[in-house]
Amino acid sequence: MRITYYREISLVFLIALKSVYATGQEPGDNKAYTWFDNIIGLENTGLFNGVEYLEKHLTINEKQKYLFSNQYLSGTITYDGQPYYTIDMKYNVYDDLLLVKLKSRDGETAFQLHKDLIAGFVLEGHGFINIRNKEAEQAGIYGFYEILADEPDIQLLKKHTKKQKKKLDKQTTYYEFENDDPVFVVAVNSQYFSIRNHRSLIRIFPEHKEEIRKYFRTQKGLRRSGPESFLINLIPVLQTFVSNDF
């Protein structure tokens, strides 16, 4: 029997059992899952399924591969179809990998999750999805993307990137990692398109060429000072196009 199925059935049973003895309100889904995982131990759930992480680059300062921090931060993940809450994790931007640190009765274990089993995660209040679409992959769009804007039929996604610098001193070769230019993608009804300029958008919405040009022209200042905000503000406009055209 799959452990994810066992987790669902056992969770229902334990919540029912708990309600017999507890006097408080029935917990929400996230509290229920967290409570259940604490009862049986994360090492006995489907999340305890990954591979050893082997670091390929020596780093010696704060210029690391990770988003937000090189320390483990509490977040939420959907893994192999199951949600897990308050999990210690960190996102390796350079290698596009998610690492977790799980506490068990025997101590702590840190490892790399199987990427193809990750649907998405939330870290520091930022939501990410894992694009595993074959057609999108052929266009170079795959892996973890942050959701910047989410309309009914269109999303704005951001691919965080890092660039490496090799450093040499008298005794050691080490690496530094700095933020590189992000990649922006729009998802329209599960179709993914990279956007670099107004011409990229015109190829997606050819019937709205003049409206797109007008937006780029009138919002020129915001595009220069805050390109991300510029695109976020554009998404509701594009949603109106999608509603009419797709």
Q: Output helix, strand, coil percentages for the chain, rounded to the nearest 5.
A: 35, 35, 30
97-153 per-position pLDDT tens digit: 999 998 777 778 899 999 999 999 999 999 999 999 888 998 899 999 999 999 999
Q: What is the pTM of this model?
A: 0.82
| 26: amino acid identity, one letter | E
Per-residue pLDDT tens digits of the chain, which is 246 residues long: 445 544 554 444 344 433 433 333 444 566 655 544 554 445 556 677 889 899 999 998 999 999 999 999 999 999 998 899 999 999 999 999 999 998 777 778 899 999 999 999 999 999 999 999 888 998 899 999 999 999 999 999 999 999 999 998 878 899 999 999 999 999 998 899 999 889 999 999 999 999 999 999 999 999 999 999 999 999 999 999 888 765
Pair of tokens at residue 10? 């056992």
- Whether 117 and 129 have beta carbons less than 8 Å apart is answered as no
Q: Look at residues 106, 81, 78, 82 and name the one whose alpha carbon lies nearest to residue 98.
A: 78
